[in-house]
Amino acid sequence: MATIAVLGTLDTKGREHAFVAARIRARGHATLVIDVGTGAEPAMQPDITRSDVAAAGGLDLDTLMARGDRGECVSAMAAAAPRLLARLVAEGTIQGVISLGGGGGTAIASAAMRALPIGFPKLVVSTLASGNTAPYVGTTDITMMPAVVDVQGLNRISRTILARAAGAICGMVEADIIAGDEKPLVVASMFGNTTKCIEAAIPLLEQAGYEVLVFHATGTGGRAMEALIASGLVAGVLDITTTELADELVGGVLSAGPERLDAAARHGVPAVVAPGCLDMVNFGERHTVPEKYAGRTFSIHNPQVTLMRTTPAECAALGRMVAEKVNASRGPVTVLIPRRGISVISAAGGPFYDQHADAALSSALEDGLRPGVPCISLDCEINDPAFAQACVEALLTNITQMRPTTPNKPRAEATGLC
């Protein structure tokens, strides 16, 4: 039997949360009902009161409620609930969490759930689940289920949705997790235009005794990778695809934010960095590209994605940006530059082939690196297997500097030349 937290604004959604709690108990699990409401008295008796939640965050809820600012109260509860929920998980008190809500309830519940480990069962039934869920999910594995109708009362639709939600969270906590070999982790960044590079690198890293987690460099992927690096669970970083920085600089749709490439540097995690796909900025369908970019070079990746070639000036700025971030590294880091193309489409014959832009990027990156940061320039394109092998070899060397006894060396011998 597991204990599942049922967290919600019980002043406005008490009846609905009571229904879900009853369905969970009917399946043989215990519940821990947590009130995060900030309005009227709760419609059901919680196991943990709203005052207890606020106190966990060092807040005086009565004072906040007396001011009558609902937005301030919701924000305060969204700051306190994560501390309480994280503590309950750390203590082993709960094994899953479910919440139901509209805007305010979803904001509080998702904030609390984002503080929990990846893999911990967490489910939100929300009126906002069919729109842009990125602000609520962030880089975590929160499951969001559309409420379809408002979470207000029990009717033939809401009873069905809420009963299924109760079954879903029970199934999540009941699911057996197949344990792996607990190998040290290496994270890698990939894009469609650098897929072959990562595909060639993975077997070498696995042969060396590492488990490889690949993140798609689509903004969300980059943020998730940065968060995992910051968690302390990662032994090495193979950051081949730094393309999200181009979107951040130029204004594309796949930026991972200004802190992309910072986590490994800040936490001293051994890393290899390459300027993969800095030749492109991502937009949506062709008609969505801002008019100010008329006349630029474009490539239609698919009907939903339009790529725009970065100019020599933008490439020079990106080179300086990468160098600045690499220079902040507290651990061993190596930069590798493929001279014959930083993506599939910037290699000779490709639609983004531009020797002047690539030269501006390489020169700015090399010139901007502080002394002591190795920079290896290879006469090949980024998807050449030899480039992948050189990246792996450099990363394993950097990991060795941090941890003298590493798993087995890769079976293939990297030459360092393409």
In terms of Cα–Cα distance, which of 170, 26, 15, 176 is closest to 97?
Answer: 170
Residue partners of 141: CB distance under 8 A and separation at least 6: 118, 119, 122
- Which residues of the chain fall below pLDDT 70? 179-180, 403-418
Calpha distance 299→283 (Å, rounded): 11
Calpha distance 365→377 (Å, rounded): 11
Q: Judge whether 279 and 357 are in contact, CB under 8 Å.
A: yes
- Give me the pLDDT at residue 403, please: 67
Q: 């902040």: which residue's tokens?
A: 328
**Token pair recorded at residue 137:** 């999910």
Q: How does pLDDT run across 287-331, given as a tens digit for each residue?
A: 999 999 999 999 998 899 999 999 999 999 999 999 999 999 999
Bridge partner list, 99: 124
- Give me the pLDDT at residue 68, please: 73
Q: Judge whether 312 and 303 are in contact, CB under 8 Å.
A: no
What is the dihedral sign for C-alpha 231, 234, 236, 237?
Answer: negative
Burial of 178: CB neighbours in 10 Å, binned 0-12, 13-18, 19+? exposed
What is the dihedral sign for C-alpha 240, 376, 236, 230?
Answer: negative
- Three-class secondary structure of residue 35 per DSSP: strand
Residue partners of 171: CB distance under 8 A and separation at least 6: none
Q: Could you say which DSSP state residue 48 is in?
A: B
- Give me the pLDDT at residue 409, please: 44
Calpha distance 277→247 (Å, rounded): 11
Calpha distance 195→51 (Å, rounded): 51
Name the phi and psi angles at 324, rounded to 5.
-60, -40
Q: What is the secondary structure of 196-234 as a DSSP string?
A: HHHHHHHHHHHHTT-EEEEEE-SSHHHHHHHHHHHTT-E
In terms of Cα–Cα distance, which of 256, 248, 345 is closest to 299?
Answer: 345
Beta strands 298-302 and 271-276 are unpaired
Run of H or E including 409 = none
Beta strands 3-8 and 96-101 are parallel
- Give me the pLDDT at residue 180, please: 67
Note the pTM of the prediction, 2 decimals: 0.77
Bridge partner list, 98: 6, 123
- Give me the pLDDT at residue 414, please: 37
User: What domains are defined for the chain?
Assistant: 3-174 (3.40.50.12020), 185-402 (3.40.50.12030)
Phi-psi region of 296 (alpha: psi -120 to 50; beta: other; left: phi over 0): beta
